Amino acid sequence: MPTKLYNEPSPLETRVVSKRFGLENSHTLDTYLANDGYKAFRKAREMTPEKIVDEVKASALRGRGGAGFPTGLKWSFVPRTSPKPKYIVINADESEPGTCKDRLLMEYDPHQMIEGILIAGLAIDSHKGYLYIRGEYRYLIEHMDRAIAEAYAKGYLGKNIAGTGFDFDLYTHSGAGAYECGEETALLDSLEGKRGIPRMKPPFPAVAGAWASPTLLNNVETFSAIPPIIRDGGAAFAALGTPKNGGTRLVCISGHVNKPGVYELPLGYPMLKAIYDVAGGIPGGKKLKAVVPGGSSCPLLKADECDIPMDYDTLAKVGSMLGSGGMVVLDETTDMVKFALRIMRFYAHESCGWCIPCREGTTWLRKILQRFVDGGGRKEDVPLLGELSKNMLGRTFCALGDAAAMPTISIVDKFPEDFEKRLPAANSQLVVV
Amino acid sequence: MAETVKLTINGSPIEAEKGTLLIEAARANGIEIPSFCYYEGLTLQAACRMCLVEVEKTPKLQVGCTLPVAEGMVVHTESQVVREARKGTLEFLLTNHPLDCPVCDKGGECELQDMAFRYGAGESRFTERKVHVDEQQWSPVVYFDAPRCILCYRCVRVCNEGMGVNALGVSNRGAISEIVPNRHDYLECDECGACIDICPVGALTSGIYRYQTRPWEMNHVGTVCTHCADGCRTTLGVRNEKIIRGNNRDRSGINGEFLCIKGRYGFDFTEHPERLQSPMLRIKDAGGLDSFEPVSWSKALEVVAGNFAKVKARGGRFGVIGSNHTTNEENYFLQKFARQALGTKNIDHHRSGDLLTFFDALSDRANVLATVEDLYNAKALLVVGSDLSQQHPLLANQIRANVRHHSAHVYAVTTGPVREDHQAAASVRVQRGGELAGIESLREKLKAETDLTIVFGDAIQGESLRKLIVFGDSLLIPVKYVCLVDYSNSRGAFDMGLIPREGGMSREQMLASGDLDVLWVVGANPLKSAPLASQKAFVVVQDLFLTETAKRGDVILPAASAYEKSGTVTNVCGEVQKLKAAIKVMGAKSDLEIFGLIAKEMGSDVVRALGIWSPDKVFEEIRKTVHGYDVSVPLIATGGAAPTMPLNGRVPALPGTVASAGDTLFTSGTLSRYSKILNSVMEAPGELYAGKESASGS
């Protein structure tokens, strides 16, 4: 596994979670231990579970998988005293288009995540964890298996971890190529060997998750942020960001920028600064057209909406989301119809098929957009795209339907001229074959 | 009384038990919230999104099928927003649904069609290509047309949860998700057809019914299945004196919607080409060989009555073997005929469960005979010596549903694996004869239960049965019993007295007796398994087919099946239900009518002694004279099942043997041999308690 970084770090970054990226053999336990590794775990071992959870609450850390749910609160929902075994499940089914941060955390610094998992284990009295890695990350499964084996060999997993008397077992589990299995309950079904479809909530996984036992489910980045939080205190982490939006996060900037890559930025970092300064601006000096702020499920922002700080609350205010940190920058040459088709092809392919609006809606939208791109667009298709998306919005079983509908609605609403441009000239009477 | 909450639906105040699902609370108050995937008794899906409703103070539309009612909830099920949402969902559904209603079997009773009419999504804005998948045949019973499927997963759930068969699943994902059978491209299952009945659209269709008719062109006749002893009600769809389908979609009767392959499709024996439609006399043909000559009814009756009178006059020996399938009225009339008009005690039928010992051991007790419903409500159940899902599909279904809905504890003591094992708290494997020891090994577990229902097969009879009851008493908890018998009126045949009381000959003795003068066999086939010793016997056979026994007949009288007559039958749990004639088969007469006509032919004294042979009159007499049968007439007249309590016991031991014929899911004595559908299924029948060949029942 190369320790060479995929992109040059930016001096504007605040590197907390990614601070070991680029170190020689950063993925090994030795490097980890030499760089503050397991200090947090030893500290947590001396703390009460309540204190650990309080510290996480104080950090204002919010789930990095996309929904942004306060992590400490989630931890406090797990009934610590339940007689059932409690499980920790790590969501490494990183599939959101535009998002590629969890792979780096596992590739460069797997032991930081493992330490975070162990601290969670202390907090909720869990002794077993499952690392659910998307099937496409084949090499990472092997990589994580090696890291886990190393941790076992050196006493950082298994019985009596680091001599503290705490036991924990961690296993990798491969996904089979389904975006849907990033949804936490579908992930649990898949983990249990079932077809990956979402479960009804309630009960929430914290109460009845894997094998109907209390289960703590968090994203790779969320667990990776735990060791610095415990080590340096929740307040210190929180102070890096803005109120209620604690700390830093890895932002994956892709699309039309000079220096695409994964950068660790504090919450509340100005979006335009991220595009122009951190990621080096748009090639050829072209104008910004739109930004996907946090993965393809988030409604797009037009260029004039982008002068905002990147935190959960501000993004919500402008009708979008911070999502999973997958920021896609689109310049003025982008054809938004093609862009809409590209993402709808993804959602139609990935819809699990469980509920009607998502299953049929994504496919229908894909067909209309495909026809549009193929030159068969009709005037009435434009409002139809919006209406169909709205018929999906809020009516599907899980968030996948919303994730497909929201960007489509924003594209149709914000870029009608791109659709008009593609209408066949004078008459729109077209024979559909 | 459970806690109730008050809520408002569409402006009407409603009270419902706390925790009730909104969709159920609404239905109970006459407000329909439409749904495809929600199905009473099966797990919740929330997949179809048809039941979305508006709940005040919640931002999004709520799913009515998973939302428990709460105090003060204000719900709108028909508001503009809700109707628009439903219309939107229907529009999505119809994008890929072929609009082939005019040729679809489901047309007219299709839930999607009904919804499209109601919410007006008939005109589609969908102008893209639909996905087409060719129709597949999964078994002689089940056909699947994937494009029509709306993926409500009812079929998957009824097969997995309801039947415990797990033969259906889902493959692929998204818009190309498809229901798939367990053997890749065909089904290996119970072939019960529950998936077809439960399908809200025409995706699953039945090989028997498809393209035969439209639903509104049939008459629907509710009657009782004539195969096993469980006594499921089945509604027969009839057109032009032909039964086209069977189902129980109206959930009438003890079985709700449940039916097995026999109840749903096993009616086709009625139109088998070999069905007897004319009385026949044995003659010697020109070459001196035996053959049968069709004769008129008057000629045949004259021969029968003449011979009966002659033999009776000279004090000859009669033997009468009745049926497990004929009605209570027929069985009662037959034994009365034998005892009073022919003066014989040699009356028997194929006894498949030891009811005699059973009733004797339980005499003078109340609440010890379990009904079919009891099996759904018992806290614990013990199945002994029977592969219930093969032999008593309804009883097995009741137990499965009980476990699913009430977490009942099931125990199985059998000679091999049975389906109950999957849900069993404990299963014990024994050699035949070791059942009691097996039960004994469960004593501590059973003692800890609050009540118990014991269902046992023919392995438990005589002394073993008495010991079983002693065991039940020793548990010191309320115990109920079901003594398993084979066929649709096995229980009634016993209750009506088709038994060799007071020194009569048993079935085996009659066949073995060398000097029997008359053997009268009604709806049974005893000569399949044993020869008739008496060469001189004049043999009269009433049956549907030219069975092994009929071939020995001197006179053969074509009888009507249970689907062609009225009367009552008593199921394995002793519940009386009413048959309703669905069709007429030319030339055949009900056995009761045949008895009456023979009596008439024998003279007015006989007629006077036996009384009028109309089913209603005979049933009146049964109610007055047969212990435990004074059941409510209105109850059974309206399709109900009335439990009987014939616990007068005290009948001395009878000669003859008690043995189940060992029918399985796809056999049913003689009837199944003439059912095309039962013979065309490819699955191997269960072997655990199967008879070597399904023999002598009817």
Per the listing, tokens 């919607």 go with: B257
Give the integer Cα–Cα distance in Å for B324 and B486: 8
B673 belongs to a structural domain: no
Return the closest-CA partner of residue B357 out of B608, B652, B555, B613: B652
Same-domain check for residues A75 and A187 = yes
In tens, the pLDDT along B231-262 reads: 999 999 999 999 999 999 989 899 999 999 99
Position A4 confidence tier, pLDDT thresholds 50, 70, 90? confident
What CATH code is carried by the domain that includes residue A409?
Answer: 1.20.1440.230
Q: Per the structure, how many domains does chain A have?
A: 3
Pairing of strands B233-239, B242-247: antiparallel
Angle formed at CA B151 by CA B150 and CA B157, multiple of 5 degrees: 135
Q: How far is B173 from chain A (nearest CA, A)?
A: 5
B690 belongs to a structural domain: no
Q: Locate A385 and state its tokens.
A: 């795209």
What does the pLDDT read at residue B691?
76
What does the pLDDT read at residue B697?
44
A332: number of Cβ within 10 Å: 12
Same-domain check for residues B133 and B237 = yes
Same-domain check for residues B148 and B54 = no
| Contact criterion met (CB < 8 Å) for B175 and A391 | no
- Say whether pLDDT at A5 is over 90: no
What CATH code is carried by the domain that includes residue B570?
Answer: 3.40.50.740
Same-domain check for residues A233 and A252 = no
Asked which of A273, A298, A331 is the last residue of a domain, the reply is A331
Contacts with B34 from chain A: Cβ below 8 Å: none
Return the closest-CA partner of residue B150 out of B184, B116, B118: B116
What CATH code is carried by the domain that includes residue B124?
Answer: 3.30.70.20
- Say whether pLDDT at B696 is over 50: no
| Mean pLDDT calculated for residue range B419-434 | 95
- Say whether pLDDT at B693 is over 80: no
Same-domain check for residues B528 and B563 = yes
N- to C-terminal Cα separation, chain A: 51
- Say whether pLDDT at A428 is over 60: no
Contacts with A201 from chain B: Cβ below 8 Å: none
Same-domain check for residues B318 and B191 = no
Same-domain check for residues A345 and A326 = no
What does the pLDDT read at residue A414?
97
What does the pLDDT read at residue B511?
97
Give the integer Cα–Cα distance in Å for B260 and B246: 10
Return the closest-CA partner of residue B385 out of B430, B449, B447, B426: B430
8 A C-beta contact, residue B21 and residue B65? yes
What CATH code is carried by the domain that includes residue B471?
Answer: 3.40.228.10
A18 belongs to a structural domain: no
Same-domain check for residues A355 and A297 = no
B680 belongs to a structural domain: no
Position A430 confidence tier, pLDDT thresholds 50, 70, 90? low
Nearest residue of chain A to residue B153 (CA atoms): A354
What does the pLDDT read at residue B698?
46
B602 touches chain A (CB under 8 A): no
Angle formed at CA B378 by CA B376 and CA B384, multiple of 5 degrees: 95
Give the integer Cα–Cα distance in Å for A102 and A94: 7
| Contact criterion met (CB < 8 Å) for B85 and A367 | no
What CATH code is carried by the domain that includes residue A205?
Answer: 3.40.50.11540
Same-domain check for residues B235 and B140 = yes
Q: What is the mean pLDDT of chain A?
A: 94
- Classify the C-alpha dihedral A12-A15-A18-A22 as positive or negative: positive
What does the pLDDT read at residue B695?
44
Nearest residue of chain B to residue A363 (CA atoms): B175
| Contact criterion met (CB < 8 Å) for A357 and B88 | yes
What CATH code is carried by the domain that includes residue B8?
Answer: 3.10.20.740
Give the integer Cα–Cα distance in Å for A228 and A14: 13
Q: What is the mean pLDDT of chain B?
A: 94
| Contact criterion met (CB < 8 Å) for B175 and A362 | yes
Nearest residue of chain A to residue B65 (CA atoms): A200
Same-domain check for residues A324 and A341 = no
Same-domain check for residues A150 and A50 = yes
Spell out the alpha helix ranges (H) of A109-180. 110-124, 138-153
User: How far is the CA of B114 from the CAs of B98, B109, B149, B581, in angstroms?
Assistant: 15, 8, 16, 31
Same-domain check for residues A220 and A262 = no
Same-domain check for residues A214 and A278 = no
CB < 8 Å from A in window 112-131 of B: 125-129
| Contact criterion met (CB < 8 Å) for A351 and B151 | no
Same-domain check for residues A306 and A400 = no
Per the listing, tokens 């089913």 go with: B615
A428 belongs to a structural domain: no
Same-domain check for residues B18 and B124 = no
In tens, the pLDDT along B174-223 reads: 999 999 999 999 999 999 999 999 999 999 999 999 999 999 999 999 99
| Contact criterion met (CB < 8 Å) for A391 and B85 | yes
8 A C-beta contact, residue A127 and residue A121? yes
Same-domain check for residues A225 and A256 = no
B116 belongs to a structural domain: yes
Quote the domain boundaries for residue B443.
Answer: 355-483
Give the integer Cα–Cα distance in Å for A240 and A269: 10
B407 belongs to a structural domain: yes
Per the listing, tokens 């079932």 go with: A194
B681 belongs to a structural domain: no
A282 belongs to a structural domain: yes
In tens, the pLDDT along B72-93 reads: 999 999 999 999 999 999 999 9
| Contact criterion met (CB < 8 Å) for B125 and A432 | no
Question: Would you say how long chain B is, in residues?
Answer: 698
What does the pLDDT read at residue B650?
67
A12 belongs to a structural domain: no
Q: Which of A180, A200, A367 sits opposite B46 (nearest CB)?
A: A200
Beta-ladder partners of B521: B321, B541
In tens, the pLDDT along B267-314 reads: 999 999 999 999 999 998 888 888 999 999 999 999 999 999 999 999
| Contact criterion met (CB < 8 Å) for A357 and B46 | no
Q: Which of B60, B85, B151 sits opposite A353 (nearest CB)?
A: B151
User: How far is the CA of B501 from the CAs of B336, B349, B651, in angstroms?
Assistant: 13, 12, 8
- Say whether pLDDT at A351 is over 90: yes
What's phi and psi for B38, nearest 5 deg? -65, 130
A272 belongs to a structural domain: yes
What's phi and psi for A384, nearest 5 deg? -60, -40
What is the percentage of chain B residues whose pLDDT exceeds 70? 98
What is the percentage of chain B residues whose pLDDT exceeds 90? 89
B293 three-state secondary structure: strand
Nearest residue of chain A to residue B179 (CA atoms): A353
Burial class (CB in 10 A: 0-12, 13-18, 19+), A394: middle
CB < 8 Å from A in window 153-182 of B: 169-170, 172-177
B697 belongs to a structural domain: no
ipTM of the complex: 0.91
In tens, the pLDDT along A244-300 reads: 888 999 999 999 999 999 999 999 999 999 999 999 999 999 999 999 999 999 999
B60 touches chain A (CB under 8 A): yes
A1 belongs to a structural domain: no
Same-domain check for residues B505 and B403 = no
User: How far is the CA of A20 from the CAs of A152, A233, A295, in angstroms?
Assistant: 21, 19, 25
What does the pLDDT read at residue B649?
66
- Say whether pLDDT at B421 is over 90: yes
In tens, the pLDDT along B627-663 reads: 889 999 999 998 889 988 766 666 778 888 999 999 9
Asked which of A240, A263, A279 is the last residue of a domain, the reply is A240
The string of DSSP codes covering A189-228 is HHHTTS---PPPSSSPTTTS-GGGS-EEEEEHHHHHHHHH
Give the integer Cα–Cα distance in Å for B597 and B298: 9
8 A C-beta contact, residue B397 and residue B383? no
Give the integer Cα–Cα distance in Å for B629 and B576: 8
Same-domain check for residues B498 and B449 = no
In tens, the pLDDT along B33-72 reads: 999 999 999 999 999 999 999 999 999 999 999 999 999 9
Name residue B499's amino acid: I
Same-domain check for residues A114 and A219 = yes
Q: Per the structure, how many domains does chain B have?
A: 4
Q: How far is A209 from chain B (nearest CA, A)?
A: 17
Count each helix (H run) and each strand (E run) in chain A, helices first.
17, 11
What does the pLDDT read at residue B61?
94
Asked which of A240, A266, A281 is the last residue of a domain, the reply is A240
Angle formed at CA B508 by CA B507 and CA B514, multiple of 5 degrees: 105
Same-domain check for residues B228 and B289 = no
A313 belongs to a structural domain: yes
Give the integer Cα–Cα distance in Å for A140 and A172: 10
Same-domain check for residues A115 and A213 = yes
A297 belongs to a structural domain: yes
Return the closest-CA partner of residue B484 out of B651, B645, B355, B368: B355
Same-domain check for residues B507 and B642 = yes
Same-domain check for residues B470 and B440 = yes
In tens, the pLDDT along A116-161 reads: 999 999 999 999 999 999 999 999 999 999 999 999 999 999 999 9
Quote the domain boundaries for residue A393.
Answer: 336-422
Chain A residues whose C-beta is within 8 A of a chain B C-beta are: 178, 180, 195, 200, 348-357, 359-364, 367-368, 371, 384, 391, 394-397, 432
Same-domain check for residues B144 and B255 = yes
